[in-house]
Structure 1
Amino acid sequence: MKPDSQNVTDYTNNNTIFMVWSFKDGLEVKDTFSQLCKLIINLNNSANIRFPISRASCVMGIGHDAWLRLGLPLPLPKELTNFAPIAGDKHTAVSTKGDLHFHIRADTTSICYDMTSAITDLLSPVAISTEEIHGFRYWDSRSILGFVDGTENPHGQDREFFSMVADEDPVYEGGSYLFTQKYIHNLTAWKGLSTEQQEKVIGRYKANDIEMSDDVKPSNSHIALANVGDELKIVRDNMPFGSMSTNEMGTYFIAYASTFSTVQQMLSNMFIGSPEGNYDRILDFSTAKTGSLFFVPTFNMVDDFSSN
């Protein structure tokens, strides 16, 4: 990770809290945002000193409309827009509003809780929390569907290459595009499939996480459509979540990318299909309830924003 970049390259942690906030209408929010930027720097510095082995961090992303409302630098990052829905014949990647996104993670739940509490105390007078997801590590990094999640992630220095803006947009070099979706799974329907049928939906074998060969893997499997080539990768940090009482079990999909067009191609393959109509079979069991795009500025930019 570049010294000035927020922690977008780390691997999934045991505990994660995702929060989306939207500013209230008609309020002055710039002063609060300036304080928030100071707080984000403080939380990360403090975690590094107090809990050096916990891999604790808080990553802040900013949405398109919030960027303009806050009077942040123009021109915007080249691909920062409001996410437009992607509608296939059967399934839609919906678009939902979000001004700020926080990705809080640590080995210890207490650290995540305290970071979340500090952000909430500051933002509550001027903003509304529209999403709060408490993710957890499920066995050997499996989703609630029972398959290992994130096997195709880049490793080592490739994580920085694929997750951070480079010199094609020099003002924002070291920043990242952040795209998020909350998926809810129909576990009753999923559990009604045999293991072999589930494997064909995913494109991997369940027990050993080995990808099916091309002559066995269905063309509408998740692996066949969600992976758009070795030249176009993203850093996923997905986490499972769930509530037994409400039967809301799902996956919070989170992608850091050097360019949003990579994510957009993946979503198009999944929801519209490649070729058109050959959509991702996993969508018959997993429904996207949210979809928002943010930009993660470098710490230098966050520091600049704190004094505006």
Structure 2
Amino acid sequence: MNNSQPGILKPIPISARYLIFSIEDQYSVSEALSRLSSLADGDNVVVGIGHSTISYLGADIEGIKTFPSFVSCGIEIPATHGALWCWVRGSDRGDLIHKEREITQALAPAFAIENIVDAFRHGEGLDLSGYEDGTENPKGDDAIACALVSSKEKGMDGSSFVAVQQWIHDLNTFDDMEPIEQDHTIGRRKSDNEELDDAPASAHVKRTAQEDFSPEAFVIRRSMPWANEAGEGLNFVSFGKSFDAFEAQLNRMTGRDDQIVDALFRFTRPITGGYFWCPPIAEGKLDLTALKLGK
């Protein structure tokens, strides 16, 4: 499927900026998105469009919705939404800043920046806890099947849905754990990334084993660490052909399925949550046909 935004299936970059926009001027939304479509190649800039924007345009994107409320066993997952999401990818932080400025100017006055998260690759794809992130990501045709929409509807084939959350870690709490306790929290050995058969049921790997769901809950994770004066953590990004797999995993993590809470919550928690639809690419730019702009 060669009409998807290519950055979705590519490995994470060395550096990235995640941008969340809100709607400021409803009357210029269509024009702003048209300008963005020429700037975003889907590779260096991956774009997701939120429910509020799609709803305002009167478009019918099957599967799009707002981020739901997850409250279970004393765990509450926040929903912060967002009208537009851009993942600016590259290797030079200065280039990313200039690209973000270009995007922001192209989107004005319709959209305004609400949140910026600067992210980076740690090692070969490690979380700041030192454990590999996205070990179980499907590859090849399996990745295409789980991440991308297959549809005969115009402007939908090759699109994707992305769930985005910023998690903040308490690394001091994590560092205070014994090495075996850390391994049992994640469900893998940090030294070789091997899954632990004797890990407790609360271990993150056991909570989110994608093949253990019915139907199976496979997603493509493209998460990256972040750090600033407020703290540090992981900007979680999960692409799928729908939000079903992500929601199945989060329900189990929060104990809604069986009252067992994911051990991750001992040292980390999400502070944002949003859903977005990622349109396909046509002739090197975003294919916004499904949004029926100008109609």
SS in 2 for 1:29: helix
8 Å CA contact 1:273, 1:280 repeated in 2? no
Letter in 1 for 2:111: A
Q: Report matched runs for 1:198-217 at 5 Å.
A: 198-213=182-197, 216-217=198-199
SS in 2 for 1:198: helix
Percent of aligned pairs sharing the same letter:
23
SS in 2 for 1:172: coil
1:35 Cα deviation from its structure 2 partner: 1.6
1:17 Cα deviation from its structure 2 partner: 1.1
Task: Tell me, yes or no, if structure 1 residue 254 matches structure 2 residue 253.
Answer: no
Alpha-carbon distance in structure 2 between the residues aligned to 1:225 and 1:273: 11
Aligned with 1:220 (options 196, 199, 202): 202
Alpha-carbon distance in structure 2 between the residues aligned to 1:85 and 1:22: 20
Q: 1:111 to 1:147 in 2, by over 3 A?
A: same
Q: Which residue of 2 aligns with 1:10?
A: 10
Alpha-carbon distance in structure 2 between the residues aligned to 1:182 and 1:114: 23
Q: Which residue of 2 aligns with 1:80?
A: 64
5+ residue gaps in structure 1?
45-55
Q: Which residue of 2 aligns with 1:59?
A: 46
Q: Report matched runs for 1:19-58 at 5 Å.
A: 19-24=19-24, 27-41=27-41, 57-58=44-45
Aligned with 1:91 (options 44, 52, 75): 75
Task: Tell me, yes or no, if structure 1 residue 264 matches structure 2 residue 250.
Answer: no
1:131 Cα deviation from its structure 2 partner: 1.6
Alpha-carbon distance in structure 1 between the residues aligned to 2:108 and 2:130: 37
Aligned with 1:289 (options 271, 274, 278): 271
Letter in 2 for 1:238: S
1:189 Cα deviation from its structure 2 partner: 1.2
1:272 Cα deviation from its structure 2 partner: 2.5
Alpha-carbon distance in structure 2 between the residues aligned to 1:281 and 1:106: 33
Per-residue CA deviations over 1:144-198 (Å, capped at 9, x if unaligned) read 1111111111112221111001249776221101100000011121111111111
Q: Which residue of 2 aligns with 1:69?
A: 56
Q: Which residue of 2 aligns with 1:299?
A: 281
Alpha-carbon distance in structure 2 between the residues aligned to 1:167 and 1:21: 28
1:128 Cα deviation from its structure 2 partner: 2.4
Compute the RMSD of aligned alpha carbons.
2.1
Alpha-carbon distance in structure 1 between the residues aligned to 2:100 and 2:27: 22
Alpha-carbon distance in structure 2 between the residues aligned to 1:180 and 1:232: 17
8 Å CA contact 2:26, 2:110 repeated in 1? no
Letter in 2 for 1:4: N
Per-residue CA deviations over 1:256-295 (Å, capped at 9, x if unaligned) read 10121111000100113441x2010101211110111111
1:139 Cα deviation from its structure 2 partner: 1.6
8 Å CA contact 2:252, 2:261 repeated in 1? yes
Task: Tell me, yes or no, if structure 1 residue 233 matches structure 2 residue 218.
Answer: yes
1:28 Cα deviation from its structure 2 partner: 3.5
Task: Tell me, yes or no, if structure 1 residue 115 matches structure 2 residue 114.
Answer: no
Alpha-carbon distance in structure 2 between the residues aligned to 1:264 and 1:130: 25
Task: Tell me, yes or no, if structure 1 residue 160 matches structure 2 residue 171.
Answer: no
8 Å CA contact 1:37, 1:306 repeated in 2? no
Per-residue CA deviations over 1:26-82 (Å, capped at 9, x if unaligned) read 6532222222222224xx5xxxxxxxxxxx52111111111021233x2x22x2111
Q: 1:170 to 1:259 in 2, by over 3 A?
A: farther
Give the TM-score, by structure 1 length.
0.86
Alpha-carbon distance in structure 1 between the residues aligned to 2:154 and 2:180: 48
Give the TM-score, by structure 2 length.
0.90
1:204 Cα deviation from its structure 2 partner: 0.2
5+ residue gaps in structure 2?
none
8 Å CA contact 1:181, 1:291 repeated in 2? yes
Q: 1:20 to 1:120 in 2, by over 3 A?
A: same
SS in 2 for 1:159: helix
